[in-house]
Amino acid sequence: MEGQGEEIKIVLDSVHEKFTTEDGAAFLQYKIQPAKNPEEKQVMDIQHTYVPGSMRGLGVAGLLCKAAFAHARNHNLLVLPTCSYVSANFVKRNTEWNDIVVPEALTSTL
């Protein structure tokens, strides 16, 4: 994504369970919940998204979410959108990710 003449890159910080912009100013924080039994998938609980005022309006929150959802899909995880931005905005506007959203969370966001 272009913003102020620069491409915004998203980086995975798996040690701290975050996706961040390269400068660390904006981030999406998550926790991995273990599967309750062998037949279930692990869940990526997206808990918080933060974008500083200087980066708002550039689509950074959406880029963070897309990176997190792509990671979840690539690692066979379900997503629990605990963060209000993710549940109220991103999930509703990006239905192509519905197949990896925890079903109970999906019905409560529609």
Reading the chain (110 residues) residue by residue, the pLDDT tens digits are 444 446 899 999 999 999 999 999 999 999 999 888 888 999 999 999 999 999 999 999 999 999 999 999 999 999 999 999 999 999 999 999 999 999 888 776 44
Q: Is 83 a catalytic residue?
A: yes
pTM over 0.85: yes
Q: Which of 51, 65, 80, 83 is catalytic?
A: 83
User: What is the rounded CA–CA span in Å between residue 70 and residue 52?
Assistant: 23
Q: Judge contact between 55 and 26, C-beta under 8 A.
A: yes
User: What is the rounded CA–CA span in Å between residue 55 and residue 93?
Assistant: 20
**CATH number for the domain whose boundaries are 2-34+41-109:** 3.40.630.30
